[in-house]
Amino acid sequence: MKKTLTLAAAALMALTLPNVSVARDLTIVGFGGGYQDSAREHLFEGYEAASGTAVSDDVYNGEMAKLYGMVETGNVTYDIIMVEAPELVRGCEDGIFAPIDYEVVDGSKFIEGATHECGVGGTGWGAAMFFDKAKHPNGPTTYAEFWDVEAFPGVRALRTGPKMTLEAALMADGVAKADVYDVLATDEGVERAFAKLDEIKDHLVWWKSGAQPLQLVGSGEVDYAFAYTGRIIRANGEGADYQLNWSTLLYSIDYWAVVSGSPMMDEAMKMVEWITSPEPLRAQAAVWPISPANAEVNADPALQAANPGMVLNHSDEGLFISTEFWIAHGDELQAKFTSWAAQ
Amino acid sequence: MSKKSRISWLLIAPLLALVVAGFILPIGYTMVKAVKNPEVTAALPRTVMVLDAWNGQGMPPDSAWDALADDIEESRRGREFGAMTRRLNFEMNGARSVLMQTRRALGSLEPPYAQSLPVTVPELATPEIWQLIKNNSNPFTASFLLRAVDLQFTPDGRIEAVPPGTAIFLDLFKRTFWISIWVTVICVVLAYPTAYYISSLSNRAASYAMLLVLVPFWTSILVRTTAWFILLQREGPINAGLQAAQITSEPLQLIFTRFAVYVAMVHVLLPFQILPLYSVMKRQGTSMLRAAASLGAPPWRQFLLVYLPLTMPGVAAGAVIVFMLSVGFYVTPALVGGLQDQMISYYIAFFTNQSINFGMVAALSLLLLVFTGALILIARRFVPGLGSLKAG
């Protein structure tokens, strides 16, 4: 009898164990920083209050390996994740992201191009070159000047990886914005970009997470850096005197995607719908220069006036990072970049 | 089995389990993973079967097109297709986009696909992609191991060097071992006098001196590396000191250099060299030195002919530990080094996190293990003291 009881207890435990992992908070993951702080307050906690579903958030640096691992082993602990456009498309093709349920999510509210089979636009983002005016009253303002180590001696910082780096190199070499991807699609163009990078290789430091370039410039380690615009604007809001060069802007849209195999698929879809709706986005925009992909909020003149740092306000000054280009050439250029950088 | 032998088995069981679980299984798994190639067969079983009968010359039979269409239809929502395209793209840039295009095109096309597909996806009308599928239908492949030494397969199955712009791993292995050897040498040179000095102190003084070695030893590697990051900054204390002393007029670039990697690695690993040396020296005492002196040997002969050979096991034990640890170093170079100062572990992490290519991860790890083992074996023949180190 005792043995049967023990067995029954063990069986009961085995049955309840998987449920323990299901009964976790709805988990949403982003790239961190001030954007996520404002999103936590106005989008994540806002949804928690509105729906009664407990939400927690986590931060990653855009590495997809963990997601692939989760989906392949069936142990999915992230539900909603913010991804860059090429990763969204590839993850969708690979079955890592679930198709968006457009019965729940209203696809008509987004700006053009911000809806995809597996994701909807979260926020526009951009990166541009900046420097500390206190140290360099007249720093470089264009990519050509960023590359000019004679006129502007000092250490430069760029993001580790080919994306954005090669575009910047070509523009520094005199390629017009409109032609960057046409040139980069050719072997000669790639050679040209790497040759241009060679010119300043000894003056370069590479960063990985968005917080690093701000720390590097803040501590005086680096003179001129390429960084996410939101973080530069926030640093200025906190007392720094950084000059942000909008003419060097490279921008794109980040998407909200739902991880395939999430045990809270329905909740996740509802949350995606809620955090892309006008009301919470307006609240978030009051504290952080977001560029929501929600058409109504994005076109709001009052918001645009209040948020001079909205990336999509500056789209005519910048270059839109081509999703198609990076899907087609990403692997090849990543391999080339890795081997170039190691030498 | 007698009771006695059963008990003895029981006694070594925990150790056996540890060796199997911590050593044999992971290394075995890595070895298998480095040559495993299941993706293509899993995603395209019919295509592989048809191509098996094809000799690889010219275009495959028309049935291959229909088989491909069937396979893609079957795997539409599964994850095998994505894994297969990533696998093939590793072999041939562009293979993924051709196959993704094929999948998209199939939704609106009618059989026979041998006629309809090449119109929308002209790349399929060349033999390369079919050869690629055929070549990778084998459940095992040498291609990761080849790539880890900068070689690759051509579409028709020959082995060639990768294009010069993308060759990287041989240099990285060389750099990894070069840095590790220098770190080991510097550690030995610094640790030997330190350990000798501590061993010559009175017990009380020695325990205080040991504390200076042990406290950093107990501190997390990450903390010590970050400390070096702060010290070596352009506006950090070292540069400030150099400028205050008017040795330099401008801040030196210390961080993100090979120099910083050496400094931080030596600092992190030094205790591993001091501790075994100290224990050997302490046990040795000075009686042999006194004996040599009484026989008329001058100090340099006492050292070279008596003390050094006697303490060599300590040098060897420490050096092997320091070398093995440096070969696998990741955090320290990643934090204080530039991209040109990264060692092989950085790229193992890169293939794990960024490219999601576990075949490459396993191949690089395996080669690192083989090269390290080979180097230790060679060193045992030439470095005195190492040979007596049975456990090394």
What pLDDT is recorded for position A286? 85
Asked if residue B184 and residue B106 are part of one domain, the reply reads: no
Question: How many CB atoms lie under 10 A from the CB of residue A131?
Answer: 27
Q: What is the mean pLDDT of residues B209-235?
A: 93
Q: What is d(CA B63, CA B364) in angstroms, rounded to the nearest whole number?
A: 39
Amino acid at B386: L
Asked if residue B192 and residue B105 are part of one domain, the reply reads: no
Contacts of B81 in chain A (CB under 8 A): 94-95
Contacts of B234 in chain A (CB under 8 A): 155, 219-221
Asked if residue A232 and residue A143 are part of one domain, the reply reads: yes
What pLDDT is recorded for position B78? 74
- Beta-carbon contacts of residue A270 (< 8 Å; ≥ 6 apart): A51, A104
Q: Which of residues 350-379 of B touch A (CB under 8 A)?
A: 350, 352-356
Asked if residue B272 and residue B220 are part of one domain, the reply reads: yes
Asked if residue B186 and residue B125 are part of one domain, the reply reads: no
Least CB-CB distance to B89: which of A63, A160, A331?
Answer: A331
Q: What is the mean pLDDT of residues B235-245?
A: 92
Asked if residue B180 and residue B124 are part of one domain, the reply reads: no
**Which residue among B93, B116, B136 closes a domain?**
B136
Residue B250 belongs to some domain of the structure: yes
Contacts of A155 in chain B (CB under 8 A): 234, 253
Residue B71 belongs to some domain of the structure: yes
* Subunit contact A94:B82, Cβ cutoff 8 A: yes
Q: What is d(CA A199, CA A195) in angstroms, rounded to the nearest whole number?
A: 7
Asked if residue A221 and residue A179 are part of one domain, the reply reads: yes
DSSP string over B248-303: -SS----TTSHHHHHHHHHHHHHHHHHHHHHHHHHHH-SHHHHHHHHTT--HHHII
C-alpha B153: how far from chain center:
23
Asked if residue A162 and residue A84 are part of one domain, the reply reads: no
C-alpha B160: how far from chain center:
24
Asked if residue A69 and residue A120 are part of one domain, the reply reads: yes
What pLDDT is recorded for position B165? 80
Q: Residue B278 has which token pair?
A: 């100290």
What pLDDT is recorded for position B114? 87
Half-sphere exposure (Cβ direction) of B99: Cα atoms closer than 13 Å: 32
Q: Which helix (H) or strand (E) holds A227?
A: strand A224-228
Q: Residue B276 has which token pair?
A: 């075994």
What pLDDT is recorded for position A8? 52
Q: Which of residues 108-137 of A touch B (CB under 8 A)?
A: none
What pLDDT is recorded for position A23? 72
Half-sphere exposure (Cβ direction) of B366: Cα atoms closer than 13 Å: 24
Percent of chain B with pLDDT over 90: 69
Asked if residue A109 and residue A152 are part of one domain, the reply reads: no
The string of pLDDT tens digits covering residues B138-193 is 999 999 999 999 999 887 778 999 988 889 999 999 999 999 999 999 999 999 99
| Chain A touched by B171 (CB under 8 Å) | yes
Q: Is the pLDDT of residue B235 over 70?
A: yes
Residue B314 belongs to some domain of the structure: yes
What pLDDT is recorded for position A197? 97
How close A65 comes to chain B (CA, Å)? 5
Residue B181 belongs to some domain of the structure: yes
CATH number at residue A99: 3.40.190.10
Cβ-Cβ contacts under 8 Å between A and B: the total is 80
What pLDDT is recorded for position B57? 86
Residue B100 belongs to some domain of the structure: yes
Question: How many CB atoms lie under 10 A from the CB of residue B17?
Answer: 10
Q: Is the pLDDT of residue B43 over 90?
A: yes
φ/ψ of residue A159, rounded to 5: -75, 135
The string of pLDDT tens digits covering residues A220-229 is 999 999 999 9
Asked if residue A334 and residue A195 are part of one domain, the reply reads: yes
Q: What is d(CA B148, CA B160) in angstroms, rounded to the nearest whole number?
A: 13
Q: What is d(CA B96, CA B81) in angstroms, rounded to the nearest whole number?
A: 10
The two counts, helices (H) then strands (E), for chain A are 16, 12
| Chain B touched by A221 (CB under 8 Å) | yes
| Chain B touched by A236 (CB under 8 Å) | no
Q: Residue A270 has which token pair?
A: 């509802």
Which alpha helices (DSSP H) does A40-127 contain, by range?
45-51, 65-73, 85-93
Q: Which has more confidence, B111 or A28?
A: A28
Number of domains, chain A? 2
Residue B16 belongs to some domain of the structure: no
Asked if residue B191 and residue B96 are part of one domain, the reply reads: no
Asked if residue A84 and residue A152 are part of one domain, the reply reads: no
φ/ψ of residue A228, rounded to 5: -70, 135
Q: What is d(CA A75, CA A24) in angstroms, rounded to the nearest whole number?
A: 12
| Chain A touched by B243 (CB under 8 Å) | no
Asked if residue A105 and residue A11 are part of one domain, the reply reads: yes
Asked if residue A206 and residue A105 are part of one domain, the reply reads: no
Contacts of A94 in chain B (CB under 8 A): 79, 81-83, 86
Residue B358 belongs to some domain of the structure: yes
Asked if residue B260 and residue B206 are part of one domain, the reply reads: yes
Number of domains, chain B? 2
- B96: containing domain: 39-136
Can you tell me whether residue B121 is helix, strand or coil? coil
Asked if residue B378 and residue B266 are part of one domain, the reply reads: yes
Question: Which of B66-80, B185-199, B367-381 comes out lowest in average pLDDT?
Answer: B66-80
How close A50 comes to chain B (CA, Å)? 34
* Subunit contact A220:B233, Cβ cutoff 8 A: yes
Asked if residue B127 and residue B228 are part of one domain, the reply reads: no
The string of pLDDT tens digits covering residues B250-263 is 888 999 999 999 99
Q: What is the mean pLDDT of residues B298-305?
A: 90
Asked if residue B374 and residue B254 are part of one domain, the reply reads: yes
* Subunit contact B235:A219, Cβ cutoff 8 A: yes
Residue B113 belongs to some domain of the structure: yes
Asked if residue A329 and residue A199 are part of one domain, the reply reads: yes
- Beta-carbon contacts of residue B169 (< 8 Å; ≥ 6 apart): B147, B148, B149, B150, B344, B347, B364
Residue of A nearest to B97 (CA): A328
| Chain B touched by A195 (CB under 8 Å) | no
- Beta-carbon contacts of residue A22 (< 8 Å; ≥ 6 apart): A263, A264
- A193: containing domain: 126-251+317-342
What pLDDT is recorded for position B387? 58
* Subunit contact A93:B100, Cβ cutoff 8 A: yes
What pLDDT is recorded for position A261? 93
Asked if residue A259 and residue A233 are part of one domain, the reply reads: no
ipTM: 0.84
* Subunit contact B79:A94, Cβ cutoff 8 A: yes
**Which residue among B136, B155, B184 closes a domain?**
B136
Strands (E), A61-203: 80-84, 97-98, 115-116, 119-132, 156-159
How close B213 comes to chain A (CA, Å)? 31
**Which residue among B121, B136, B151 closes a domain?**
B136
What pLDDT is recorded for position B109? 86
Q: What is d(CA B204, CA A50) in angstroms, rounded to the nearest whole number?
A: 67
Beta partners for residue A244, in sequence order = A130
What pLDDT is recorded for position A185? 95
Gyration radius from chain A CA atoms: 22
Least CB-CB distance to B356: which of A64, A327, A339?
Answer: A64
| Chain A touched by B255 (CB under 8 Å) | yes
Asked if residue A211 and residue A267 are part of one domain, the reply reads: no
What pLDDT is recorded for position B374? 93
Asked if residue B248 and residue B301 are part of one domain, the reply reads: yes
- For chain A, list residues with pLDDT below 50: 1, 12, 15-21
